[in-house]
Chains A and B, each alone.
Chain A
Amino acid sequence: MPITYTSGEQVEVYRFSLPVTIGVPVAAVWLQSFLSLHFPFFKMFDLPLLVTIFFAMARRNPIAGMLTGGAIGLFQDALTHYPLGIYGIAKTLVGYGASSLGVKLDVENAGARFLVTLVFYVVHEIVYFTVARGMVNLSLTWSWPHELISGLLNATVGVLLYFMLDRFKQRT
């Protein structure tokens, strides 16, 4: 698996235009809402999480990554009927982790992206589960097979999605 360590000077740092910065997360949340309604199995996917990971890894800035993750998470929270912040906290941590990892690793190739997405999906679910049970008192059941299968599916879709979103990258 070609994950190579790169110094801060070697890695490419990208930025995105304002329409992309706003439009892509909104589109992800909308698609998540709409497709889950018509295809119930789509609830296994988390498009906003994939977008969070993509932006965090491309910008390679932990503060930008956690702010993007927090905003997308709160946006996603707003569509549920639970208190705001469960997705927010989980995606803030994922944004921070993905951008920190992006600084140290070359995550431009498909294999690296697949693994990073799988790992961060599981991290996201663990944080969500902890916050939802510990703070909001939701009765959730943890299932490793379910989470791993979901993680693999998300990682597969994520790799395809990242290549589509690469078109919007702008070199700094």
Chain B
Amino acid sequence: MESVFSRYKNLIVLVVILFAQVLGLAVQVKRTTDTESTRLIRLWAVSAVTPFEKAFNRVHNGSWNLWHNYFYLRGVRQENRDLKAQLEQLRIEQVRMSEDAQQARRLQVLLGFKEQYIQKTLPAQVIGSSGSEQSRSVFIDKGEKDGLKPDMAVITSTGIVGKVLKVFRSTSQVLLIDDQSSGVGGILEKTRLQGIVRGTPAGEVVLERVMSDETVQAGESVLTSGGDRIFPKGLPVGTVTKVSPGQELFLNIRLRPAANLNKLEEVLVVTQVVEKEPSPSESGPVRAVDILAQRLPSVPDKPAEDPNNPNKKPDGTEANPNSPPGTAAPKVKPESTKPAETTPPRVAETGSAPRAVAPRTSTTSAEGTTTTAPKPVIKPATDANTTPRVSGAAAGGDAKAANKPAGAGNPAGPKIIVEKPAIPTSKPKSNSAASPAAPSQDAPQ
């Protein structure tokens, strides 16, 4: 027995070592990766390698910055002039874009859209890679102590990079989008077709799950769809480079990543994403309906009002908040009413006199006439026992209750305080011609 062992000692040791590794591998493969904690050997390996990479990176960046920021300044004046000219161009473009963005935001408010906003990002330096052709991941110099957690999105200014996979004390491993085990929800910018962005074993990025009967053009941009719950919607993923028929009725769409994954130096880790409805207050004082009103020829003009008494009409009369919806317009002059305090649990907006409306309340009348209305901020009153329900669905809902004054029709109901004065959107016109749909509905006084 002893002679057999000594004779085949090397082979036996080899079999034992291989068996142990195969067994360990099988155990790891069987376990789900989500519940897997960081193994000690990974911790040791990363701790052994990353300090050198950090140190080298610091020295490299320091010397590079010293050279470029203090010595190598040739052409800086010319570059400065060029950048100023570019800045002017961008300012002009920004004005145009901001108008569009504001309008889009207001329309989103009207439709009750919820959007994800990147609230906080953390810049990080890429200090190393896995060094393997198969594992496409990089290490960054921020970790647990900086507040990073697994599954945080990693982006650059040009596009998405990947997600945080493993977090160590002061470093993190980032899985790139061109790795075969990564997956990102993607949407084609023009056609709005959705698919899954994946990496291939060869390191390419493809968009999967797009049916072959769809038409996709090379050059089209792909954005994040937000469906993966990691990347916020609308971030650039890449551009379609080649479209060919794939397997199982799906197209084979190759992408060129928007971020240069082969030359990553600095990245941004998205540490906080908030989901909220866009507020029109973010976009300025004018609502979408105001813009639409300006474009419609038959819209009644916005009254000027007394800021001290929002209930009081400019002609001295008080607005009647009890007026049912769609009834006040014919009798009330454009420069007439603006209720200051109303108590609708739901606010309905119709094509009549201005009244308190929630930001999400529809402002188009049943007849399709759009009117200008004040843009209120709605607050629950101090004696309100219930939270005021103001929603887009209420627009065509309980209109009578919507116009009852506080403490009168619904004493127990919540108060809605209209804080902002009305926004005049166009010059006064004669009211009789203003609302063609309204005259048949006289307001009962």
Contacts and interface: CB of A to CB of B under 8 A. Distances in A.
A148 interface: no
Interface string A40-70: 1001100000000000000000110011001
Contacts of B25: 83-86, 89, 131, 135-136
A107 to B, nearest CB: 18
B201 A141 contact: yes
Nearest to B53: A34
Contacts of A138: 134, 180, 201
B202 to A, nearest CB: 7
Given A89-B21, A93-B18, A135-B26, A37 B128 contact: yes
Interface string B73-101: 00000000000000000000000000000
A36 B131 contact: yes
A81 B166 contact: yes
A137 B45 CA distance: 24
A94 to B, nearest CB: 11
A147 to B, nearest CB: 11
A139 to B, nearest CB: 5
Given A81-B175, A92-B14, A93-B18, A32 B48 contact: no
Interface stretch (B36-44, B398-406, B429-437): B36-44
Contact of B131 (A32, A66, A83, A88): A32
Contacts of A87: 132
B131 A33 contact: yes
Chain A interface residue bracket vs B: 35 or more
A141 B361 CA distance: 57
Contacts of A1: none
Interface stretch (A13-21, A71-79, A160-168): A71-79
Contacts of A82: 134-135
Contact of B24 (A30, A85, A92): A85
Contacts of B44: 78
B42 A63 contact: no
Contacts of B240: none
B352 interface: no
B49 A33 contact: yes
B180 A135 contact: no
Given A66-B14, A70-B17, A96-B14, A29 B28 contact: no
B133 A43 contact: yes
Given A37-B129, A84-B25, A30 B134 contact: no
A84 B39 contact: yes
B9 interface: yes
Chain B interface residue bracket vs A: 35 or more
Interface in B186-203: 201-202
A70 B49 CA distance: 18
Interface string A123-147: 0000000011001111111000000
B31 to A, nearest CB: 9
A44 B202 CA distance: 12
A16 B196 CA distance: 51
A20 to B, nearest CB: 16
Interface string A79-119: 11111111111001100100010000000000000000000
B133 A83 contact: no
B411 to A, nearest CB: 64
Given A37-B129, A80-B130, A96-B10, A75 B17 contact: no
A18 to B, nearest CB: 15
A40 B262 contact: yes
B46 interface: yes
A137 B29 CA distance: 9
A88 B41 CA distance: 12
B130 A26 contact: no
Given A66-B13, A67-B17, A33 B128 contact: yes
Contact of B173 (A32, A76, A81, A100): A81
B17 A66 contact: yes
24 contacts: A26-B48, A26-B49, A29-B45, A30-B128, A36-B129, A37-B126, A37-B127, A37-B129, A74-B41, A75-B41, A79-B42, A81-B130, A81-B166, A81-B175, A83-B29, A84-B39, A85-B24, A86-B25, A87-B132, A92-B18, A96-B14, A132-B134, A135-B29, A139-B201
Interface of B: 9-10, 13-14, 17-18, 21-22, 24-26, 28-29, 39, 41-42, 44-46, 48-49, 52-53, 56, 126-135, 137-139, 165-166, 173, 175, 179-181, 201-202, 262, 264
Interface of A: 26, 29-30, 32-37, 40, 43-44, 62-63, 66-67, 70, 74-76, 78-89, 92-93, 96, 100, 131-132, 135-141
8 residue pairs, one from A and one from B, having the closest CB atoms: A78-B45, A80-B135, A83-B28, A32-B131, A85-B25, A62-B10, A37-B129, A33-B131
